[in-house]
Structure 1
């Protein structure tokens, strides 16, 4: 009530004058049923000084237009969609590419592997290899081919065993263990076998040797004195049947045979070599 008194109001009524102006509008009669209502109207020029542009926003104080501030950096594919909103086309992100890749990531030029041409007459669908990602996210091709070599040598002496008259009689057996050291691929095993039987041939005597049912050497003494240490080293190269699984082992060997002995012929030593080539491609 003190404030109203300063305006000259007292005795239950107020004689203060309230006037419109400076964008202020006054309505009502001042009664309880129709009180005064004061309102103000501000123009755009009054609001603009309160606005400013920020990161990602462009503001033009002369026109009052507010818009998105699009970067002018090369490769920016952000645009306005048909509905007026900001829009990034699918697959349109521009990326830097290194060795083995092409494209910039746009819809018209997607990032893809830089492949060569298939130079073979066979189909890539059924004969092509594979490329995978390893645990570190690097591309890896199929395992490299591997070739390993294993060998065995043994010399056995005997107590002057008479050569049997029958052909291809087993004299002894020899073997080694071959292991596929490739952890990934089956291996093809190529085995070279050598056998050498030492004979003593009295005058007129004869004897033969071989292996796996194949006589590969025969000699007869046509002289008048004994031949001591008659021998010949024979060789065969054969593929081991089937493929050897990764990390698997298999015995490889053969039986040395003698036969067609005559005139007191005997043998006293057998020397054997087994060489294996393990190939995984």
Structure 2
């Protein structure tokens, strides 16, 4: 209570003063919050959400973060984190053809495993003591094999196998002989000349393909065959060349 001469009381911003300041009519000070003013203050910084319909003010749960390496924004509702990305340079649709990124157990961003391309080569050359060329066609005279390993633990591998063979034959007059890979005759020769032919040969190639599973090791074979031998034709040398290309392509 103020006694003596009435005191001067002045209302400030958002304040209302009533009464004369006497015992019978005391001062009453009323403060009213200006919602628009408060709303301006709290929305000026990050981390605050205001529901216009209910009037509820809450935290948006965001925290200010430091950004680098293509990240932008501060993590707030007004400035969410974003990643700087380049322009998609391909004619296909990025939505259906783009490769996703992944998060590992340590919280590090990962992309798909890199593609791999490996090669395995095996070459042989065997001399024979003038063995008669067999008469039945596609008779196996050698079998060669090559190891194929898919080094990718995640994806299947597409394997291209090049098979080459060469057989040297001695062919008397009016003799015949054939050679091939598996059941495919690659060469048939008939000496209908006037003199024997010595160490005649030609090199032939066949390409096959297969798919092996992730991390799988296997062996692929090539059957060297000969046949249709007549007139005393013999073979004295077999040369083979196997080459495997093991390819895994990123998704």
Aligned pair count?
200
1:199 deviates by 0.5
- Deviations, residues 106-131 of structure 1 (Å, cap 9, x unaligned): 21221133345665545735x54332
**Alignment partners' CA distance in 2, 1:112 and 1:78:** 17
**Alignment partners' CA distance in 2, 1:199 and 1:80:** 90
Whether 2:167 is the aligned partner of 1:197: answer: yes
Q: Indicate the residue corresponding to 2:7 in structure 1.
A: none
* CA radius of gyration, larger in: 1
Q: Indicate the residue corresponding to 2:95 in structure 1.
A: 124
Q: Indicate the residue corresponding to 2:149 in structure 1.
A: 179
Q: Indicate the residue corresponding to 1:114 in structure 2.
A: 84
Describe the shift of the 1:202–1:81 C-alpha distance in structure 2 as closer, same or farther (beyond 3 A).
closer
Whether 2:218 is the aligned partner of 1:218: answer: no
Q: Which runs of 5+ in 2 are unaligned?
A: 1-43, 52-56
The question of whether the paired residues in 1 share the 8 Å contact of 2:171 and 2:191 is answered with yes
Q: TM-score, normalised by structure 2?
A: 0.70
Q: Superposed, which structure 2 residues align to 1:134-173 within 5 Å?
A: 134=104, 136-173=106-143
Q: Which runs of 5+ in 1 are unaligned?
A: 1-74
1:146 deviates by 0.5
Describe the shift of the 1:269–1:79 C-alpha distance in structure 2 as closer, same or farther (beyond 3 A).
closer
Q: Superposed, which structure 2 residues align to 1:236-247 within 5 Å?
A: 236-240=206-210, 243-247=211-215
Q: Indicate the residue corresponding to 1:66 in structure 2.
A: none
Q: TM-score, normalised by structure 1?
A: 0.63
Structure with the larger RCO, 1 or 2 (CA within 8 Å, 6+ apart): 2
Describe the shift of the 1:94–1:228 C-alpha distance in structure 2 as closer, same or farther (beyond 3 A).
same
- Deviations, residues 180-209 of structure 1 (Å, cap 9, x unaligned): 122332111110000111101012212111
